[in-house]
Structure formats: structure tokens, C-alpha cells
Structure 1
């Protein structure tokens, strides 16, 4: 399928060149200081009025008539570069751009620079890494997912969580990619931090709707994170020391301008800080920590061929051990206990870039991804009975996870400036472990070693896609494509043809209207235990009885640039979702030997609303204000009497303000204020005594629940403030960062429960976990 498409593209290219006297300018655009690809850099010819952008590897291609050309290469935060010459043959022009020393000096010099107006794709935001570094966050740990939460259409889960809920979707409906490889769990510390080390990131893109055909497999969003490739010029490093974790990133050339490396690590020391306190309470030893490790090597074989080898490894581990002796002499007994909870990701990717000709670029990738979750509990006792040594032993373990092997190939074909064609395909072999319980017991009374629960499931998934971003006129531009996918599991094979289309029409030089439609299919389900606060969510596939998730989303909006550096966009959307899964009432991931399919219900979902994003991108003061008005509902035949109910994270109003101000080269501040309608929760509306004959002291009152998610928590709002103090040193630079999370100590609800006062009256009580929290960190570069 792919080979004929390559031949067809080459034939079209040859025919086009034979018919018109046109030639191609192509090459790569990189950072002069590091050699990093400048993803999305723009190339514009003043004479013809044509332009293009660099892809995820910095490659660009621009075909123009044989004539004089005057090219401008531009990228936010970098100095523009100009190239002028007469185009009479195909020419390769590699450009190295230098950064601006004063960011506030960046000016929008033409509407042609305005991506907001020019781009066909809507509902897409390029996340500024400067904002990720400068805005205040919990415990001072820079976190790209916390910054994404501040954007319209995106909601956080519980207080302090790094999870995202996009346009009414669940956490499983976000396609989170590291260098193109899906990540199945992006959280550390029970969701309070994400797995992404900002120091190792090159670029971040969020797509909420109008999905290009190259993306598939999820319903609600794409978070496309590209890691640094490694400095090809000289050795550099950066890192930081904070309240809960430290990090270090090193990068540099192995062979200058040809082979480079990047390695980045982060680890918490919560366990080291807490262990003396825990041990002071007795013989218990325990703690918690997490770590991340990113590594990449890239090698340039030639101007046309380059290879990358990258990996990510991360794990969270909570553990506790206890041992004690009692008795003496022949009556001495020794008891030991150990418990462990751990989860983590392992990802590897080998990719090869090859430029077939100045118009055709390819990327071939082989990847491995593994996510596993493990609960372990072991106890033993040793003693003397009737003069004989006796040992009792028991072990309980719960395992779940998902493992993937995948291969894909992607092509970018640019026949002329009015068409940007992408096509490719992917195959993935899945191994699901939805939940295995292992139990082992050994004593003088019993011996048992058994495994029960859901059996492993093996599945095959593939997709093919093609899309074209084509310019119909100076005002009208369309991106149309198809994404065809299939999933074979057990004796069932599912297929899905997903059309995608988006377009923009320029009303005037400062205003454009946009619209999009996207059909999406998702062949993975995440069974979520709401409120547990642990990573006990299970990834499961569709089966002969459980169908894939489906969604249709339409969106429309207006984008406008105001005066220099100001932009505003307004979008409305409607999304319908089918084949969503929920646990049955009372069911959990644990339990007996029953299969997970017997514990779930299938239903529908709706989400619709409007979003406003107002941004200031230049000057000493920059930032944005985002507002979302939305409605999100669910409906299941056998839940809530078959009636619609609000989704737990249905939030009517969501407002965020994120601002940074640079006083001078040494001092800047960041301020974040957020407000949101309270989450929906399920609470009983009446309480009564149990049936006669029950012990009321043991069972307590019985609550009557009228409907699911029938109550709203109090509204949520919070102010965060941070100050960064910079200084250039002999060996590089250093930054002291000080922050206040929840600066006015708002008692936001984390959990609601019923309690009794001293008079025996029942009342609803709110649990809040984060008052005002100061933080500091020391960051450095060399």
C-alpha cells in the first residue's frame, strides 16, 4: 500500500516539474547554538507570496517558479534570517537561526507571520516552554501538564492533580505522545506530578479538536511532546534542586555536527526525608519515591539520512516493611510484614529519517512501550511448637498492565506551496494484562499456590491515513483527510473509516473564521475507580462483547489579531461519544475470579460548550486569559435508572489567568489564578435506620441516593505567585525560584463525607489537603 503511494508521488512530482518551470528549495532549520530542530519554523517568499513550515524534524520544502526569490526564515524567539537569489535549479538551503537576547523585541511584522490566522487547523495550541518554566506550580516542580490545565477546554481532576480532562472526555481519551510513542500513565505521586521533565523537552502541542488524519486511537485530545535531540555543537547541562526532587540534564556532541546525545534524570527524595520519621515510630521501614530517565542518541549519516534512538523509563514505588519479636527462649516468635505498591512506564524508539528528494520526506519508526501496575503484600511468622520449628507464609499480589510492539512509517510530500500532503501507516501488537491475582500460602494447616482473575489478551491494531492541507485561494484553505483503522482481538475484528476536515476563511488581514469535523475511534478502554487516588485504572481492549469507543466532534470559531502582540480566539464545539465504559455499582478492580467484562456497563456521552482564549505574546508582560463554558453528560442503561447524569468532571464555568512580567534581565514574576465550578459528586439525599434486626451501632444509618452525581462541591479557586531571580555566572547561569501555591490559603474541597458532631447530628464535612504552600528551587545551566 505504501510503496505504490511513494511511486505515485514521485510521478506527480516529475510531471509537475515537466509542465512548469519551477524548482524546489529544501533543507533543515535548526538552532545555531544547539543544532536542535526548530519545529514549525516558517519560510516565506516575499516575491511570490508563498510559504511553508518545518516539520517535526526541522525539514522544509518550498517549490517556486524560476525567478528571483527573497526568503524570510522566522521562529518565535529567534532572529529572522533573509536569503535572496535567483532560483534556476533545485537547491538545498540549511539554515541555522540564532536566538534573540531580548524576547520583548520580537515584533509581528506581517500578517503572513500570524499562525493563528494562517493555519487551517483549529483547536490547537503550541505550549510555550518559557511559560512552563516561569509560572508558579505545586512544590516548585515545573510541569507541562499543569500548564496545559490552564488552557480553555482543559480541566484538571482533583486538587493538585496533573491529569487533564479535555472537552468532556476522560483521562484515557488523551493521546499523550513522547517522540511519537503513546504513554499509558503520565502521572507520578498519585497524580500530583506528571512524568515529563521540562528540561528534556523541545516542544509541546495540544490538539483538542479538528484532528489531522495522522493522529488516531483517542477521542478527546492529542498531547504531542517532542524531546530534545542533543546539542551537536558543545557540551551543555541544566538542572535543579527543589523541595521534593532534583534533576539533571546533559547533552552534547559525540562527533561534532554529526552524532549527539541527551540524557536527563529526575528523582524525588521523599523517602530519604521521611524514613527517619517513620523509623522513629518503631521497627517500621518504608517510604515513597519516583524517578524519570530520558535518553536519546541521534546520528547524521548524510544530509538526506538521520537516525535516532531514544528511551524513557520511569517508576513510582511505595513500600513498607515491619518486623517484630515477642516471647523468649523456646517461646520466641518472629513476625515479618512487607507491602509494596509500584507502577511505571518503559518506552523505546528507533527512528530513521530519509529525504527521497527535495519534495518527499519519510520517517520510519519501531517502538516498544510497557506500562505495569503491581500491588504486593507478604507476611511470615516463625516460632517453636512442641519443640519443632514452624514457619507460616502468605503472599498476595495483583498485577496489571499493557505492552506494545509497534512499527510505523510517515511521509511528508510537498508538490508545491498550495499542497502539504501527509500519508502513512502503523501496525501495533498489543498484550493486555487486565488483572491477575496471585495467592500463595504455606503453613502446617494449608498449602496453596494459585492464580486467578482476567486472562491475558492479545490483539493486533493497524491504521492507514492520508491528508492534504491545500490552499484553494488566498482566503480559503482546507485540510481534508481519511484515517482508516482496524483492531483484531479474540475472534472479532473491528474496522473504522474516520473522515477529517477543517478549514479557514480569511475575512480580512486580521480575522479568520474556522470550522472542523472529526470522526474518531478508540480501541482501548480505561476502567477507572473514581476517588481511590491510586493508579489502579486498568487498560482493557474491546472484545467480542465490548465495542470500541467512538466520537464525532464538530467545532467552529473566529480568530483575530488585535494590536501588535495581542490575539483572541472564540470556539464552540459539540461532541457525541458512544460505547463508553463504567464500573457497575459496587464493582472495583479487585475482587473475585470474575472477568472484568462482567463488572462494566456500556453507555453514551455528550459534551458541548464554548471557549475563549485571549493572549498577549510580546512585551515585558505576557500571558493569557482562558474561559470555558461547558456541559458534559453520561447515560447508561443500567446505571442511574437509565437516565442522563452529569459527568464527574462536568464543570460549568472554568476560568484561568496566567501572566508573567519581566522587570529586567534578573527579575521576573509569574501569577496564576484559577476558578472553576465544583465537581459533581454522588451523595445520599435521605438517611434512615436499617431494617429491624440489624445492629445499628455496627451498620449505622442507610443512605438513599436519588441519582448519580446529584450534588456539586463548592467552587474551586486559587492564586499562585512565583518570583524568579536570575544571574549570569562564570560558567553559565543560575535561577532561584520562590513560590506560593494557594497564596490566600483557600480551603478547596478535595473530598466530602458525612460525620457526626458531639450531639449526634449528621453533617456534610469537607476535607481540604492543600493550604498555602511555599516552595523554592535552585536551577542552573552551564
Structure 2
């Protein structure tokens, strides 16, 4: 099997090389496509010969290359969603460099330009299970508390399930939150959540592009089972100083970008901070008898600089740093009192240094040095004073808990464009991981002091890949690749091939059928007691006892573009897909296990974290429907998912299959954005989802202890028996209860006005417009008649918000 896959792939490479060698009198036209006015590189711009299927797209850095037969007059078109199309006529008698500037489309011109975007066809791409959302659309969709959130918009796509109410949790085609590869400028972001999941760490003002891949993964991506979420930051305006920002109910943000050396170098810096701690401070002080302070805040900081050394070399340095912090401090005024200082904080830090080099008109390279760091900490200090006779005694209790993961990585990629039929990419990446699964320090003056730490785990994860986008005929599109992944932990080595294949057959213009297969391996795992993806969850590596997770996914469907000018459906794309995915070696906590070592500190040094987990299998299958319009006065999408997901662990649920919490049979999303006029934008969303699968008590039984209890009650009750009963719950099988369906409508309106030197926007939005009391959790309680009933709790009723945004 391995030899066959390798043979097929090298056959593709040899065919491309032979074709190039026998090409005769052919020349290459290449260059960069940027945005007019800012010189920002544009990703995914379509470059094509009008009236033919010959063409290519720009890569992540805006570079393109197209080799064609020599001719005196060559018409070449450039088109991109949200930008005015450009057509250039050139003489191709030698290798030619052609750099293009695209002008952002205006509201009234977008309707006119739409008909010229016929080559931006999802039906002509071999890639399937992929979604791109324009940043401009993300900023217009109504958001919780007015904070625009990339991950919450991705939740509105088919195949993507949301977590609990208001959270940014992402569950793609039956996978967990750890099975998503989240990339920001080549750096992995391990925990993308603020405020325990209510907001993500990504500030939309600093982003240039967002792409979600759910299946048919290109070989350049590895290390996760379910999805790739790739985000690229803006480079910064090379022509003039530009800024934008906003003031909202809970947070404010500001982004500045501009030239360092005009036309050659630029910078971008973007920051966001909440002020919940400032708003709550007067209330906390008013209710305290002494000096007290408590609160919460988070902040994000994005920065990027770049320098253009000329036609062949460019350098980029970018980074992100963010932090969440809960804190509580109290110093009572009384002499005999307790002084407390406690907190919880977590954060991410990333840094990427990239060097682009152009070897020739056909060969483009990028070298990256990458740093990523995620930390989580809990601390609690309690100092109490009490008088013993004439002496004042002090007692001290201290707790420290730390966990995290730190990465250092190198990455080298090459893009090779031998001819219009082939676009080849190959490269290598190696990452040094340092895991700290848990480290607990406890000090107590009344108990035996101990210090308990788990040694850091150091591992190396690497991969080498090659892939090719091949057009063997005018009807066939093939994207194939092979990734060879390697993982080393002490003396344990895993080497595993990962074949990938996506194909499309164009039945007729604007309509194609597609199929894909992908095998993925994952060497890092997230241990979670909740399944929500909170910062208290632990990242741990594959070891000699814990095998890598692995998935295989097949998908098939069709894609249709509606391009007829003047028709009702002009500019729409329709994709329908079905998929089947198997997962093995997924891990979960055993029943009753915990991430803390405090449960049994005396034996903690003898217990490894692997003793607390169990490995199992998973299955997910279903169908997805997406009707999408990305540009024009009216844009948005309709998404529907029908899916089933099951897990099975030998040590959970008596070894029987069960539905994980976020299995949902039906999921619907309706998103609409309407430019009522140049000054008013309306937007709305409606979502529906089958209720979560939960484990709740099925019955409540009274019980009495059958043995004497040796405690203080013995002095009051002869025989040591309690005179009252204690409840015992019967839970039945795991996740056998299905919560009520979730549905919600959001609405927003934006008022724009252009001033002489800036543009301002007032936005008013309403989350949960019709005040649906969606279930958050359930519990058993006694009603007024003494009956035990299941009670539903909700967290967010109707929530209005407003914000002020500006650009200059």
C-alpha cells in the first residue's frame, strides 16, 4: 500500500517535469497581486485566460506564476471577491513579470462587477469541504455583546457544531476541540478562548483572511484529525497611516498600520482590552468591610512588520500575545482575620519570522521560524491570624498549579509552477514540544508540607510532504498529496504515512461532482472533564502508553455556481456533501479521574497521568448543505447539517457506544446581510440545533447507611446511624438524555457616515431577539408538592448591545 501511494505520487511529479521539458516555445508570466492603496498582498486571487479553463491563483503571499505558449497578444484577467476585476493584455515573447493592483469594490459597483467573476468557481476547484468567509462579512454579522468573533461565525457553517450557550467551541464533523488545527501566521494557537469560551482571541481588525477546511485536507497540513482553521494577519499599509477601532459595552480596540519606508516596509499593531474589572471595582469595594478587590479582564495584542528587499526577497515578523486574568484580594481590618489573595490566569503567545525568496519565475519559497506558548496558572494564598492567649498566631496556606505547552518550530515550503496543468508544493516542518501536564505546589503550616511536580515532557514532531494540483483534462481536477509524519518521545518513535486525495469532474460549466479521502494522525491530546475546551483542560503528548489518534475520512458531493448575469441567483454557490469518518485512539478521562494531583498527594509520584485516561473509538457521518453569496448588496448563506456521532470506550458506559455531548442530529443556520443604502446595513442570523446529549439523574432514591458511622454524630445518635436518609441518584447509561432543542435569532443594524477625514459607524444589535430560554444545564429538585422534577437553567436572555466604530 505504501509503495503504491509513493509510486503514484512520483508519477505525477515526473509527468509534470517531462511536460515542462517538452514544452517547446513557452514563457512564464509571474508577479504579485496587491490591494491598491495599501499594497497589501491578496490571497487566492484568480488569474485566468478569459473563455478558457487555464488559470491559477495567488498563494499566501500574493504570488502567482503561469507558463503559457509564446504569443504577441495575451489577455489575462484578475478577479477577487470584493474587488474590481482587471484585464491586462501583454506580449509573451519572454519571461515576464506583471504585478497587479486591485481596487476594493464599492457598494454600487459590486452589483455590476459580480457578473465578471465567472472564473471564481467552487465547481472548478478540486478542493472540497472548504469554506472562506470575507472579513468584511464577519464584521457585519450581529455578535454577542457587540464583539465580532471569527470562531462564532465559523460555528454558523454546516458541519461545525457550537459548544455551550455563547461559547466559541468548535466541533467539526464529530471531532473534539483539540482536533482543530488553529493557525495564525504559521503559528499554532492551542487555546483560542477568552472568558472561559465566550470570546475568541482573534481580533478581526488585525486579520486579512480566514479559511476553514473540514475534509480532503491538503498534505501541507498535519497534526489534527477534524479541521484546519488558517488565519493570516494583515501586513500593514505601505502607502499611508491608517487606523480603525471601536468602543463597546465590555471592550475597546484600536488598530494602527502604516509605512515604515514608503512602498517597501510597513507595520501593524492592534490591541483590545476589556474593562469589566474597572466597572465592577466600585461595587466590590462598597460591599466589603475591609480592603477588597476582585475582577476579570482580558487583552489581545497583535503586531507585524515586513520589509521588501526587492523582487526576490521579503521578510515578515509577526506575533500575538493575549492574557485572561481573574483575581481576588481581601485584607480585613480586624486583627484576628484572614487575608486572601487568589487568582487564575491563562494566555497565549506566538511569534513568526518568515523569509520569502523567489528562485525563479516558477519556484517560490518560504522559510519560517515559529514560536508558540500556552500557559495556565492557579494560585491561592491565605494567611490567617488568631489569638492564642496573649500571642497572635499566623497560619499560611499556599497553592500553585501550573500547566502549559511551549513550541519551537522550523518550517520550509516550496511552491513550484511548471505549467498550467500542475501547481506543486512540497516542504518540511519540525516542532519541539515541551509539555507541563501539571505541577502542584502546596504549603500548609498545619499539615505536612509537600511539593509535588510532574517533570516536563519533551517531544519532537515532524513532517515532510508533497502535493500537486493537477488538471489532466479540461474536465478533471485532481489534488493529491502524501505526508510522512514522525513523532519521537524518548525511545518511542512513530512514523506514519498520510495519503490525501481530492478530485472534481466538471460535468458541464458551473457544475461538478467531487470526492475526497484523507488519513490524519494526531500526536497531541486534550484531556477534558467537561468536553467544552476550557483552559483547565490539559494538553498532553503521545507516549509509550498513549498511541496517536488517527482518522480516516471519505466525502463526496457536488458543487454548483450560478453565474448567469441578471438572474435571481447570480453570484450564488451551492455545495452538497456527504461524509463518513472513523476515529481511533481518541482519549478521555476514566470515570472519577481528575487533572489535579491533590486527590492523593502521598502517592502522586507513583501515578502517571496516563493512569487516569482511557482510549476508544469514534464514528461520525452525515450530510451538509451550503448555499452562499459572498458579495453584493445582499449576501449571506443558508447552511444545514444532518449528522450522527458516536464514541466507544472500554471503560466508559459499560463498554457500550454512546453519543458525545455535542452530537446533534439537525443543525440549521440562516445568515443575511443587506446593504439598505450606503449609510445603513441590516443583518440577522437564526440558528437551530438538536439538543445536547447529557447525563442526568433518571431517579432519586432515599437510602440509609447500613454500618455505624464513626464521627461526631455518634455522640448524638446511638449506634452511629443517621436518623435521616441520604439521596442516591440513578444515572443510567452515559449521555442517554437529550436536552431541548436550541434556537436563537440575532439582529443588527449599522449606521455609517463618512466624514472629511474619517468614517464612523454606530452599531446596535440584539442577541437572542425573541428571548428564547435555551437550556444550559439541568438538575433534580423538589417542587412545592414534594415531587422530584428535572429543572432547566438558562444563562442568556435577550441581550442588547451597541458599539461605536471608526476608521481613518
Per the normalisation by structure 1, the TM-score is: 0.95
Deviation, 1:33, is 1.3
Output one character per residue of 1:155-193: Cα deviation in whole Å (capped at 9) or x when no partner.
100000011100000000000000111100000011000
**Equivalent residue in structure 1 for 2:54, among 27, 50, 54:** 50
Given the alignment of the two structures, is residue 71 of structure 1 paired with residue 76 of structure 2, yes or no? yes
CA contact (8 A) 2:704 2:722 kept: no
The superposition leaves residues 626-666 of structure 1 with CA deviations (integer Å, 9 ceiling, x where unpaired) of 00000000000111111100011000000000001111000
Match of 1:752 among 778, 784, 805: 778
Whether 2:347 is the aligned partner of 1:344: answer yes
Q: d(CA) in 1 for partners of 2:476 and 2:299?
A: 48
Alignment of 1:9-158 (within 5 A): 16=20, 19-46=23-50, 49-67=53-71, 68-102=73-107, 104-109=110-115, 113-158=119-164
The counterpart of 2:330, out of the listed 302, 322, 325, is 322
Residue equivalent to 2:406: 403
1:107 shift after superposition: 4.0
Pairing partner for 2:620 from 603, 607, 615: 607
Q: What corresponds to 2:378 in structure 1? A: 375
Compare 121-130 and 614-623 and name the one that shifted more. 614-623
1:499 aligns with 2:503: no
8 Å CA contact retained: 1:9, 1:413 = no
Counterpart of 1:714 (choices 723, 734, 740) is: 740
1:121-270 alignment, distance < 5 Å = 121-270=127-276
Separation of aligned partners in 2, 1:98 and 1:468: 31
Distance 1:191 1:698, change over 3 A: farther
Q: 1:540 to 1:35 in 2, by over 3 A?
A: same
TM superposition shift of 1:335: 2.5
Say whether residues 1:676 and 2:694 are aligned partners: no
SS at match of 1:474: coil
Could you report, residue by residue, the CA deviation over 1:293-315 in whole angstroms, capped at 9, with x for unpaired residues? 00000011111100001110001
Q: In structure 1, what is the Cα distance between the partners aligned to 2:294 and 2:533?
A: 20
Q: Check conservation: 1:431, 1:457, Cα contact below 8 A.
A: yes
**Aligned-partner Cα distance in 2 for 1:285–1:718:** 36
Rounded Cα–Cα distance in structure 2 between residues aligned with 1:698 and 1:541: 48
Tell me, yes or no, if structure 1 residue 272 matches structure 2 residue 278: yes
- When residues 699 and 721 of structure 1 are mapped into structure 2, their CA distance, relative to the original with a 3 A threshold, is farther
| 2-structure distance, mates of 1:727, 1:52 | 38
Query: 1: distance between equivalents of 2:98 and 2:294?
Result: 58
Aligned length: 769
- Unmatched segments (≥5 aa) in structure 2: 1-8, 563-568, 708-720
**85-94 vs 546-555, which moves further:** 85-94
Alignment partner, residue 597 of structure 1: 610
CA apart distance, 1:111: 7.8
Cα displacement (A) at 1:56: 0.4
Could you say what secondary structure the match of 1:117 adopts? helix
Q: How far 1:690 moved relative to its partner? A: 2.5
For 2:451, the equivalent position in structure 1 comes to: 450
Residue of structure 1 in register with 2:793 after alignment: 767
CA contact under 8 A between 1:650 and 1:680: conserved in structure 2? yes
Which of 303, 311, 316 is the aligned partner of 1:308? 316
Q: Is the 8 A contact 1:41 1:75 kept in 2?
A: yes
| Residue matched to 2:803 | 777
Is residue 622 of structure 1 aligned with residue 627 of structure 2?
Answer: no
Paired residue for 1:702, among 728, 731, 745?
728
| Secondary structure of 2:359 counterpart | strand
- Cα offset for 1:290? 0.2
Tell me the equivalent position of 1:329. Answer: none
Q: Could you report, residue by residue, the CA deviation over 1:690-748 in whole angstroms, capped at 9, with x for unpaired residues?
A: 34448778873211222100001100000000000000012110000000100000000
Q: Distance in 2 between matches of 1:49 and 1:489?
A: 48
Partners of 1:191 and 1:639 in 2: how far apart?
27
Q: Deviations over 1:37-85 (max 9, x none)?
A: 1100011123765211000000000000001310111111111112112
Shift of 1:119: 0.8
> Counterpart in 2 of 1:286?
294
**Could you give the per-residue CA deviations for residues 341-400 of structure 1, whole angstroms, max 9, x where no partner exists?**
100001111010000000000010001110011111111134565655543222111111
Aligned counterpart for 2:762 among listed residues 724, 730, 736: 736
Equivalent-residue separation in structure 2 for 1:618 and 1:487 (angstroms): 44
Measured after TM superposition, the shift of residue 274 of structure 1 is 0.9
Cα distance in 2 between the residues matched to 1:293 and 1:230: 15
CA contact (8 A) 1:523 1:542 kept: yes
The residue that corresponds to 2:583 in the other structure is: 577
1:755 & 1:730 partners in 2: Cα distance?
Answer: 62
Name the stretch that deviates more: 682-691 or 274-283.
Answer: 682-691
Structure-1 residue corresponding to 2:477: 477
Q: Which residue of 2 aligns with 1:514?
A: 514
- Cα distance in 2 for partners of 1:187, 1:419 equals 39
- Do 1:17 and 1:23's aligned partners in 2 also have CA atoms closer than 8 Å? no
1:549 is the counterpart of 2:530? no
- Structure 2 CA distance for aligned equivalents of residues 389 and 683 of structure 1: 49
CA contact (8 A) 1:383 1:389 kept: yes
The residue number in structure 1 matching 2:438 is: 435
Contact 2:53 2:474 (8 Å CA) reproduced? no
- Choose 366-375 or 563-572, whichever is displaced more: 563-572
1:429–1:617 CA distance, 2 compared to 1 (3 A): closer
Indicate which of 649, 662, 673 corresponds to 2:675: 662
Q: Deviations over 1:597-618 (max 9, x none)?
A: 1111100000000000012344
Cα shift at 1:96: 1.1
Q: Within 1, Cα distance between the matches of 2:505 and 2:16?
A: 28
Matches of 1:87 and 1:541 in 2, distance apart? 54
Q: Name the CA shift for 1:47/1:191 in 2 (closer, same or farther; >3 Å).
A: closer
Contact persistence 1:740–1:773 (CA under 8 A): yes
Stretches of structure 1 that go unaligned for 5 or more consecutive residues are 327-331
Counterparts in 2 of 1:285 and 1:111: CA distance versus 1, 3 Å = closer
SS across alignment from 1:366: strand
User: Structure 2-normalised TM-score?
Assistant: 0.92
Structure 1 runs of 4+ aligned residues shifted over 6 Å read 8-15, 694-699
- The corresponding residue for 1:529 is 529
Task: Report the CA distance shift for 1:757/1:232 in structure 2 as closer, same or farther (over 3 A).
Answer: same
Moved more, 716-725 or 16-25: 16-25
Pick which of 769-778 and 66-75 moved more: 66-75
Q: Is the 8 A contact 1:136 1:722 kept in 2?
A: yes
Measured in 1, the distance between the counterparts of 2:669 and 2:23 equals: 54
